[in-house]
Amino acid sequence: MGKMPVWADVLLVPLISLALAAFFSALVILGIGENPVEAFQLMVDGALKRSAGWGYTLYYTTNYIFTGLAVAVAFHARLFNIGGEGQAMIGGVGVALVCLYIPWPHWSLAIVGASIGAALFGAAWAFIPAYLQAKRGSHVVITTIMFNYIAFSVLGYLLVEVLRPTGSMDPASATFPDAVHLPNFHEMFAPEGSRMFRGAPANVTFFVALAACVVVWLLIWRTKLGYDIRSFGKSETAAKYAGISPLRITVIAMLISGALAGMMSVNTTLGESERLILNSTEGAGFVGIAVALMGRNHPIGILMAALLFGFLNQGGAELALWTSIPRELIVVIQALVILFTGALDNMVRMPLERLFLALNKKETT
Amino acid sequence: MDFLTLLQVLDSSVRLAIPLLLACLAGLYSERAGIFDIGLEGKMLAAAFAAAAFAAITGNVWIGLLAGIGASLILSAIHGIASITFRGNQLISGVAINMLAAGMTVLIAQDWFKQGGRTPSLMGEGRLNPITLPFADMFESIPYFGPTYEELISGHSALVYVAVALVPLTWWVLFRTRFGLRLRAVGENPASVDTAGISVVRLRFTAVAICGILCGVAGAYLATGLQAGFIKDMTAGRGFIALAALIFAKWRPWYALYACLLFGLLQALAVRFQSIEVAGVVIPVQFMEALPFILTVVILAGFVGRAIPPRAGGEPYVKER
């Protein structure tokens, strides 16, 4: 059967899907009586024209790289990890415990410790759904959804009853000590006295996220484990025949996925709020699904998609600030991207495949 | 706990169980036909908004109900087109629908009413008003039975009785009619249904549409019966609790009623008592909130009676390979 060329699969299909999503988003903006072109310009101004805007865009990008990679690793094993939200929340608990109870002398050590804590806690939260999927056949999608809600309750309980400092009314942990403060972009890149990146939350964790992209790429395409994960995802029976244990791969892929989702909280909890709060994930776990779908489960694609969604999120915040368009517009755009790149993928793909098939036939005759 | 408190808790359990029950039955039709639906939450939310908005504008709750059903059906159509026509991933489609509803409801609410993403509070005919069943005052003097009849059985809105009546109706449709047999068959083995000359696509679309209607009723009840108007994210995970109840009930109508009543009771207890002390141990409210989800995971794990979904669930049907 004639297939599409690779460039069409990795570039053309996502771009057409994105264009469709953009078209419908524009219709939505028109529908609520605003001008889509002006709205887009405002978003670009707010997210990309000023360094502080970039500082926010890259902060959100960092979150989405982690959750996007998390969803992608699971996708490679044909597992749909919808629980990034819960894993990130529990990862935050790991970060808070590490930062509150271990006296770190310097942030460079603290970020390592916090990353390990976040990854361990996130992975642990993914373990039960993974084990139940592999051992008892309980659908990982349903269990991870349930675990999102359980995570929210656990976090609520911990913040109200355990981690909340005495006398405080906020459901939040104590503020982390000054020694673990991560350098943000303003402290790292702004020349003396400059206002560059001032007040923006982007911090050194961004580079951890970039490193995670490289590590995931190495893992999936350059190691035996990655090969096992991909072959398991392509065909479970073939993988079994080749001596790959489904139990082992399912659990390992989900553990890695959970660890990556958990590490998002290094950025939010240690990098930004510097204490554990109730709603630090802000739906990033779900955005990760859109990011992985857009990025075709490849780290480079995920990096670009994460940038796009980081820009959308920051641009949307600016829109809400300057116009009467609520922030939820971004949720609509994210939903449309998931719809067109994920669920309606065949709608774009099937006519294109037919087109390329016809073109190929013409060439051969 | 005295008798009156008990009655009040049970009464609010019923009220809280009704949206769960309607959404759960909605999911039952869809999943029995082999279409997974994790978009129950989004459909309820869209319906809740449409019902509250149209009830607020027209002042008529029944127009609101129709609008709610309409909004839910639009999302059902998207789900059907994505997962039946284009054979896309049903779970991803569900996620998209949930997010679409979460965003669109606030967006439109803000555009129409300018009240920070909510609708105006509903009053009078804009709400589902309770119906007093006959003899409620006659039985009043009878101890125990009288108050039970008055508090628990009488005094709900019409949709509550409709929802409860839907349970035997669903059982009858699924297990005693030709349509029900075909619906269940298409969820287990669509190829056999196709061989018998019956359209798989049409059956599945019908099931998805029924699911949409019921989710619409669930959302409308939420916004006009249980509460008086729409607020952002007002479903608060009810669609997923309904999904949990569906698994808990192993995709059977009567058990769905019991599961929803149980989860309704848990919600009612969590609302009424912030924390409960059982045998000297304080159970935090968060545990009560999480209990439906924990129970579902336990059931899914198969430690207490295994839940096996319809066999063809989640798989698009390809006529010829």
pLDDT in tens, B224-257: 988 888 998 898 889 988 988 898 888 999 999 9
Q: Are B124 and B58 in contact (CB under 8 A)?
A: no
Q: What does each C-alpha distance from B54 to A242, A319, B41 come to in angstroms?
A: 60, 28, 20
With a cut of 50, say whether residue B18 has pLDDT above it. yes
- Average pLDDT for residues B121-129, to the nearest whole number? 79
Between chain A and chain B, the number of residue pairs with CB atoms below 8 A apart is 151
- Average pLDDT for residues A75-101, to the nearest whole number? 94
CATH 1.10.3470 fits A62-305, yes or no: yes
Q: Are A185 and A202 in contact (CB under 8 A)?
A: yes
pLDDT in tens, A94-133: 999 999 999 999 999 999 999 999 999 999 999 999 999 8
The answer to whether A142 contacts B100, with C-beta atoms less than 8 Å apart, is no
Please report which confidence band the pLDDT of residue A342 belongs to, taking 50, 70 and 90 as the band edges: confident
With a cut of 80, say whether residue B277 has pLDDT above it. no
Burial of A232 (0-12, 13-18, 19+ CB in 10 A): buried
pLDDT given for residue B72 in this prediction: 96
- CA dihedral for B211, B213, B214, B215, sign (positive or negative): positive
Question: How far apart are alpha carbons B123 and A45 in whole angstroms?
Answer: 44
Which residues of chain B are within 8 Å of residue A131 when distances are taken between CB atoms? none
Q: Are B305 and B299 in contact (CB under 8 A)?
A: yes
pLDDT given for residue A341 in this prediction: 87
pLDDT given for residue A355 in this prediction: 87
pLDDT in tens, A170-198: 889 999 998 889 888 888 888 877 888 88
- The contacts of residue B245 (CB under 8 Å, 6+ apart) are B20, B21, B24, B256, B259, B260, B263, B292
Q: Which residue of A has its CA nearest to B292?
A: A146
Q: Does any domain span residue B42?
A: yes
Question: How far apart are alpha carbons B205 and B72 in whole angstroms?
Answer: 14
Please report which confidence band the pLDDT of residue B303 belongs to, taking 50, 70 and 90 as the band edges: low
pLDDT given for residue B304 in this prediction: 61
What's the domain range around B83? 3-128+143-301
Q: What is the DSSP string of A73-103?
A: HHHHTT-----HHHHHHHHHHHHHHHHHHS-
Q: Which residue of B has its CA nearest to A325?
A: B107
Query: In three state form, how does the secondary structure of A276-308 look?
Result: CCCCCCCCHHHHHHHHHHHCCCCHHHHHHHHHH
Mean pLDDT of chain B: 87
Which CATH number belongs to the domain containing residue B73 in this structure? 1.10.3470
Of the listed ranges A38-47, A219-228, B3-12, B164-173, the least confidently predicted one is B3-12
With a cut of 90, say whether residue B73 has pLDDT above it. yes
The answer to whether A153 contacts B289, with C-beta atoms less than 8 Å apart, is yes
- The contacts of residue A365 (CB under 8 Å, 6+ apart) are none
The answer to whether A143 contacts B300, with C-beta atoms less than 8 Å apart, is yes
Q: How many structural domains does chain B have?
A: 1
Q: What is the CA radius of gyration of chain B?
A: 20
Q: Which residue of A has its CA nearest to B289?
A: A153
With a cut of 70, say whether residue A297 has pLDDT above it. yes
With a cut of 90, say whether residue A87 has pLDDT above it. yes
Alpha-carbon gap: A297 to the closest alpha carbon of chain B (Å): 15
With a cut of 50, say whether residue A36 has pLDDT above it. yes
- The contacts of residue B18 (CB under 8 Å, 6+ apart) are B159, B160, B163, B218, B221, B225, B226, B260, B264
pLDDT above 70 coverage of chain A, percent: 99
- Average pLDDT for residues B296-312, to the nearest whole number? 76
Which residues of chain A are within 8 Å of residue B104 when distances are taken between CB atoms? 28, 328, 332
Q: Are A28 and A332 in contact (CB under 8 A)?
A: yes
Q: Is A70 helix (H, G, I), strand (E, B) or coil?
A: helix
With a cut of 90, say whether residue B122 has pLDDT above it. no
Which residues of chain B are within 8 Å of residue A139 when distances are taken between CB atoms? 300, 309
pLDDT given for residue A1 in this prediction: 42
- Residue B193 tokens read as 């249904």
Measure the CA dihedral B224/B226/B230/B234, to 10°.
Answer: -150
Q: Which of A224, A331, A237 is nearest to A286 (CA)?
A: A331
The answer to whether A343 contacts B103, with C-beta atoms less than 8 Å apart, is no
- Residue B88 tokens read as 């896309």
Mean pLDDT of chain A: 90
With a cut of 70, say whether residue A44 has pLDDT above it. yes
